[in-house]
Amino acid sequence: MSLGFSISPASDVPIFRQITQQIQRAVATGRLEVGEQLPPVRALAESLVINPNTVARAYQELIRDGVLESRSGRGVFVSKRRQVFANSERIRRLRLATEQLCHEARLLDFTVKEVQALLAETWQALESQAEGSEPPSKKTQK
């Protein structure tokens, strides 16, 4: 199974974080669907030419966050969406991401209206991607 992940060893972002971000993005866009099995740790590590412990760390973090689930003797699968965090933790995490976005936007001299417009555009594109990846039977059930 090829997930099309790419790793940049020269990046400031740790490799395990690059993996978690790419899996999260694939789940958010529907490229990876609920119940879909991920490659075994060793197989993904070999395809990315990285240490298996790095993949295992990424999988464990995503399992802890409720994105993935481990099924004993069967492997790691995309989990059904559920809230594993208290609302205060969800807000804390979103606030961190929002602060990073705002800092970058201010450095690049964007207005809040321009950021809001881009955020709305990006959100719509994400929803379109997720809808476009669903099987036809799911689309008709909405």
Q: pLDDT at position 2, please? A: 56
List of domains in the chain: 15-78 (1.10.10.10), 87-133 (no CATH)
DSSP 8-state assignment for residue 110: -
User: pLDDT digit string (tens) for 57-101?
Assistant: 999 999 998 999 999 999 999 998 777 778 898 899 899 999 999
Name the band, by pLDDT with cuts 50, 70 and 90, for residue 34.
Answer: very high
User: pLDDT digit string (tens) for 37-49?
Assistant: 999 999 999 999 9
Percent pLDDT > 90 in the chain is 67
**Rounded-to-integer distance, Cα 69 and Cα 138, Å:** 22
Q: Are 18 and 48 in contact (CB under 8 A)?
A: no
- Is the pLDDT assigned to residue 22 strictly greater than 50? yes
**Rounded-to-integer distance, Cα 141 and Cα 115, Å:** 34
SS3 label, residue 16: helix
Residue with tokens 């069967």: 74
- Is the pLDDT assigned to residue 138 strictly greater than 50? no
